[in-house]
Amino acid sequence: MCGAFLVQDHVIPFLSAFGSTPKWKQEQFEFGDIYPSQQAIVIDRNLHQQFETKLYSFGYPYPYQGKKKLIINARSETLKQKPLFRHALQNHRAVVICSGFYEWDLFKQKIFFDQDQPFYLAALVIENSFVIITQEANESVLSIHPRMPVIFNAQQAKQWLCDESKIFDLLQQNNPMLNVHQAFQQISLF
């Protein structure tokens, strides 16, 4: 699962792999921890099939429940079967650039996972929102949580966005090993 992630300003140069991002658009980007309902930097393709950097809200509202509950993740194994994701998988694939992501352990301590440089999370855009695609966790995450986001480098991210014949291979690939950090120690006063 991926319920929160971090975007720091050092991600900006990594956007250049997908073309230039106008300065006025960069000024709209929010940096820091991103939680459901907040906006984040997403790369997708426009109607002319060109890469485009946009801001979308993290999480799609559950149908018939308004904004009270959000769908924030989609399981890679069931994307084709779920009506909500089937169309987005074919037509609205995206990637979310980030510095790392968070999970919480059994003691509700925040754990941070990252690499030496920013990376891209597989995502689907639904209306003005996005969900992050997850898969079974690898060894670097498994002791904390059984699932993790599908992680791409820039080349894989471009294939995900452009090459429909490779999407299922990319979803089944092994994620890279990640650095693990305790984000902070939660102290009980009682």
* CATH code (residue 59): 3.90.1680.10
pLDDT tens-digit series, residues 34-62? 999 999 999 999 888 889 999 999 999 98
Tell me if 70 is assigned to some domain: yes
Task: Report the alpha-carbon angle 72-114-73, nearest 5.
Answer: 10
Tell me if 43 is assigned to some domain: yes
Tell me if 56 is assigned to some domain: yes
Tell me if 137 is assigned to some domain: yes
Tell me if 185 is assigned to some domain: no
pLDDT value at 99 more than 90: yes
Tell me if 188 is assigned to some domain: no
Which spans in the chain are helix H?
12-15, 23-26, 83-91, 139-142, 154-162, 167-172
What value does the mean pLDDT of the chain take? 90
- Provide the greatest CA pair distance for the chain: 58
* pTM, to two decimals: 0.91
Total number of domains in the chain:
1
pLDDT tens-digit series, residues 142-189? 999 999 999 999 999 999 999 999 999 999 999 999 999 987 655 555
> What tokens appear for 161 in the block?
């966005």
Strands 151-152 and 110-126: antiparallel
Tell me if 190 is assigned to some domain: no
Domain boundaries, position 156: 4-180
Tell me if 187 is assigned to some domain: no
